[in-house]
Structure 1
């Protein structure tokens, strides 16, 4: 492990942590402008985190260590993905452990941790949000596996860095039916996993329509800041994975300072464009009724199945 490789991993990790709250801020600001409001600025999520970190964390009466550990598990599992994923470079020494199945397991680990915390509080809203979150996860996680399987069929590897590197050297694959179907399927899953419209509304204050927010109603102070940072990082990681799997240009193939710098700049640009596009789309969307969400995710699963079939029969 060379000093350049270590620097690349640290740069990627620091960059994603620094950028994640700004991604949320950009989306809020774009929505505010399109809705005729001034908005609080793209740096407001960082200011909120600073304020929450200065406050004491309070646990509800009767809760156990599960409630306290859930924010740490959510943030830690997402940080591992941020460290090993091919976001800036495919030459990272940790890329070898960036396996598709490991990434899906880490995403599910954070989801399950928050769901257990929602149940641990013993409140009606916590249990309701946990039930809904697990329902969404049970339908979304298999689609991620199908998408990865479709993309890895021609690479003979489920390693994310290998998939990105192969598409970089054979860009024509991006326009193949398997890649296009997989892109649509994963886009729906990203929206569902990140808790965005039309699956969930992160800015809602109506308890009966909440999913993610219902599970964290009892959190405050440092614990709430940890969850907010973990959720923002999760959104950034998902957008980054989609961008690099289907638009891999700009991802560094070495650990030289110039290559890492270009890779970091391109990554920020791609994530910013996707965040703006998602925010614009949300302005024209309404939240789906709960029983319609499985239909949407079932559609994405079908696209995943078609992507896998195309990768074999249309190879």
Structure 2
């Protein structure tokens, strides 16, 4: 029932996303644009060419980031784990900007492989740095290493954007996380990678429950710890790399959504993962709608809205529930 309720929320926000913007379009016009589009009707053209791809993209990216955040927290047993905090998004973004700056790569299929490589290398670098010392890769050390590398890679990305004036303006908007300006073909191309990552993520539920008990106990229960972590890592790279290649680095979403899911379901990852998969698109759709109407006639990129709205909520969440460990 909870999953059904959140699915209804996503459907309602999807309708709102198609109707709300610089021009408010009546719902009957939205439905007509989807059912029997008329190329001579400006409202239908706006829905079909601008808002429908943007809305579908928000849903797909929300699924990707919500699942990847829950996976990272489960695999590392770190409540602070998030693709933004542990440098995965920043690594993918830096790699995509390098591809555009040095090799002239501008298509999705050209960028996504750079994004995968950047996400994987960033994750390995954060873990290697966090594992230094006698205490190993503790949650705090991983978070600090991730924050340091995120700042470094973010600075490098900004430097490349400033040094390359010929890079298109939409790349600069992409660098702060934006859903605007994408066509349906790009969304469908990205969706194939997200679908594979989603399937890999959903089969990890039982393994993550075992890992939550500790590596030794998980092995005693017959769990292949290294294999489980490897599958989770591949899923995270697919989900984060594909999402970042299209919309840029959107932080915070993967951090808070799994905690909200745990408040609703408990610690069982067989429920946390599906709940994260539906809560994150709802949050991202709402953030995008807020960004469209907050500063008319302009709009705020969704990455800015998620950070501004989500950070205080996360602080409140931690203070209320005292979630200091998983």
Q: TM-score, normalised by structure 2?
A: 0.32
